[in-house]
Structure 1
Amino acid sequence: MATGSLTIDLDALVRNWQALDKASGSGVETGAVVKADGYGLGAAQVARALARAGARRFFVAVAEEGAALREVLGRAPEIYVFGGHMPGDADMLGDLDLIPMLNSVDQLTRHFEALAGTSFGIQLDTGMNRLGMEPGEWAAVAEVALTAGPKLVMSHLACADTPDHAQNRQQLEMFHAMTDGIDVPRSLSATGGILLGEDYHFDLTRPGIGLYGGLPFEDATPVAHLSLPVIQTREVEQGESVGYGSAWVAEEPGVIATVSGGYADGLIRAMGNTGHLFFDGVPCAIVGRVSMDLITVDISHLTAAPKALDILGPDQSVDDLADAAGTVGYEILTSLGGRYKRLYTGGAG
């Protein structure tokens, strides 16, 4: 028996993309970020649904992800690689028409030497200090790079999830300073940037987490629904402990359900004694530590023993669960393991 049943609602995914596409505004193209296996939900299924909905530019982290996506989508869509042109990537990039976002002078040199005349993009660092060329580097190579005809020039916002953060405006101004006047499509915004407003949209937006039901897109429709089967129930007496380290002790007699799922399945250990599962909308507290394969849940208040309990769905979003675990929705989604029975609904062409 699978650890649990993970249902991915592709219609909800498409609705989220359509809403973010509308928010991006007229004349702005909306791409889709499907890195990390579609944020843990299956890049092949996610990308096919988004392509049917109208997405034509997709973004992945590394060339290997791009190669897998090209096999799924065929030759028509553009596939951009955030990590750029790494050593050993030339054949894959060239053979599969992948577009590396060149992040440094070294990558620019490598690409021009190995794949002269093939597509590329440029990533600029406007203040995040993670990937991209800094202003001085860009000034030194801009003329050569622009003459070669990049497909896209982009940067990435560090604080877009916090709308009033001063760095948003600082990065916007830096992006203008580095790119105004160029005749190349520009992109600055992922999900958070889209929600900051039209000043941040430029020619292309690239939503990621919002597609999959996560913050900061508060109006997102939940995409992932995860139900965990109950393996066993047992009665506990006042004073009895549950799980490793006796981390929870019953204050009164009760009933404990042990469900199949744990931190090996991406259900983070830190939500022991803080998180909840749900049965028909009724919250049931996680008691004791989350272990590798099992979670213990207090169901004393239920009138009947359930066959399964829900941990993701309408009653609890990925961000609700992340709050209980002291992390972010991105980690919850991308950590979902391979033991789940996966069911895809909707998304039909």
Structure 2
Amino acid sequence: MTRPATLPAPAPALATGLGRRGPSAPELCVDLDAIAANCRLLAGRVRGDLMAVVKADGFGHGAVAVARTAVASGATWLGVTALSEGLALRDAGLRVPVLSWLNPVGADFGAAVRAGVDLAVPSVPHLAAVAAAAGDARTGPARVHLHLDTGLARDGASPEEWPALCRAARLAELDGRVQVVGVMGHLALADVGGPSANAAGRAAFERGLQVARAVGLRPRHRHLAATAATLTDPATHHTMVRVGAGLVGIDPSDSTSLRPALTLTAPVVSVRQVPAGTGVGYGHAWVASRATTLALLPVGYADGLPRAATGRAEVLLGGRRCPVVGRISMDQVVVDVGPGSPVAPGDTATVVGTGRDAAPTAAEWARWARTLEHEIVTGLGSAPLRVLRRFSPDPTWSPS
């Protein structure tokens, strides 16, 4: 074997360390006081009930923790999509009304009836399956909310199917198999809010209510508004509103100052000095234009950071904003902290903050990734092994 004539040049100086000054792993912290404040604000905007929507693990913030906080702060109902989410709330000891509204015909509706979970019914086949499950459960009628499509062409019965669903529901109610306690819809421009934006959706819902009443249904609960309409369009409120994003500090209508509740921090794993011309990460998407200092953080797209934010994202490190350089990888990012930076292994970077300091917020990450805040927070909350939830100091509240 021929040996090289000269040895390779030494690698740039590299310092490593774990946990010298801060936590030894990324931490996702949830500010339940912020969620409580948001819930109180939203509940103060409506005269009827407020349903706290805690689907997708409470928008990545922890469904049970968010649910308990919301119920203690003015919410009178809880809402989820999948039946399994509703059953988990019951298993956690939550006894307020719970509604589940996105289930296949073959779902275990008997479990819902036995657990006292209300069910949204978007079609006659769904109604038949729920009625049959209620008969088998022998626990009394299933509580259902008839779901009307008001313009999304998504979940809910179309206007053409709606009269048949209402008639079938009335027959099932007379047979004692179901109790129609609600009618629900969702606005096609739910993220816009405002009277003019959702006039067509409001009108479609009113027509649906008239059809339901004409066949003898008398639903006590009527709900159409989500966060944006709750904040901007009182005509959509009816007897109840459904709020999810607003609880965790997201206002799609950009009309109200809500408090973000998530903070993601990460320790610096290593620091290296590099000369000008150094390429960073896969494909050398970024090349240093001058000698600088690079810090490595153990977070990436597997933890919910959107890869699409590559080239635009920043973090708070060493008391100032620093750019993320190179491509965002599965479990690591590189940060340019500048020449002569005192940043050292074990220091803590704030990757996502709440806006109380200079740290980037979920809203900024959404802009960098050209998406919406909902995707950012639910993505961050999908890595449970790296989540630390900071619970409220309220002595009357206890975590699960």
Report TM bin, short chain: over 0.9
Which residue identity is paired with 1:125?
Answer: D
**Alignment correspondent of 1:294:** 332
State yes or no: 1:204 paired with 2:240. yes
Q: CA–CA distance in 2 between the matches of 1:158 and 1:141? A: 21
State yes or no: 1:63 paired with 2:83. yes
SS at match of 1:342: coil
Give 1:215 shift.
3.0
Contact 2:43 2:75 in 1 (8 A): no
Q: How does 1:135-146 map to 2 (within 5 A)?
A: 135-146=159-170
Give 1:196 shift.
2.5
**Alignment correspondent of 1:241:** 279
Contact 1:213 1:318 in 2 (8 A): no
Equivalent residue in structure 1 for 2:299, among 253, 256, 261? 261
How does the TM-score come out when normalised to structure 2? 0.82
Which residue identity is paired with 2:50?
Answer: T
Q: CA separation of 1:105/1:301 partners in 2, compared to 1, >3 Å: closer, same or farther?
A: farther
Equivalent residue in structure 2 for 1:133, among 113, 134, 157? 157
Give 1:286 shift.
0.7
In structure 2, the gaps of 5 or more residues are 1-22, 136-140, 174-178
> Residues 107-126 of structure 1: CA distance to partner in whole angstroms, max 9, x if unpaired?
01111222142211111001
Q: CA separation of 1:242/1:280 partners in 2, compared to 1, >3 Å: closer, same or farther?
A: closer
Contact 1:4 1:261 in 2 (8 A): yes
Contact 2:119 2:144 in 1 (8 A): yes
Equivalent residue in structure 1 for 2:261, among 209, 219, 223? 223
> Residues 172-204 of structure 1: CA distance to partner in whole angstroms, max 9, x if unpaired?
111111114563220001101112221111110
**Alignment correspondent of 2:366:** 322
> Residues 227-279 of structure 1: CA distance to partner in whole angstroms, max 9, x if unpaired?
11110111111111111111100111111110010111111111121111013
**Alignment correspondent of 2:52:** 32
**Alignment correspondent of 1:171:** 201
Aligned residues: CA RMSD: 2.0
How does the TM-score come out when normalised to structure 1? 0.93
Give 1:35 shift.
0.6
Equivalent residue in structure 2 for 1:195, among 217, 231, 236? 231
State yes or no: 1:344 paired with 2:380. no
**Alignment correspondent of 1:73:** 93
Contact 1:85 1:111 in 2 (8 A): no
Q: CA separation of 1:243/1:84 partners in 2, compared to 1, >3 Å: closer, same or farther?
A: closer
SS at match of 1:173: helix
Task: Give the % identical residues.
Answer: 31
Contact 2:110 2:130 in 1 (8 A): no
**Alignment correspondent of 2:350:** 310
Contact 2:113 2:134 in 1 (8 A): yes
The structure with the larger Rg is 2
**Alignment correspondent of 1:183:** 218
In structure 1, the gaps of 5 or more residues are none
Q: CA separation of 1:291/1:119 partners in 2, compared to 1, >3 Å: closer, same or farther?
A: same
SS at match of 1:226: strand
Q: CA–CA distance in 2 between the matches of 1:280 and 1:345? A: 27
Q: CA–CA distance in 1 between the matches of 2:26 and 2:325? A: 19
Q: Which runs of 4+ in 1 moved over 6 A?
A: none
Which residue identity is paired with 2:116?
Answer: D
Give 1:84 shift.
4.1
Give 1:317 shift.
2.1
Q: CA–CA distance in 1 between the matches of 2:274 and 2:244? A: 44
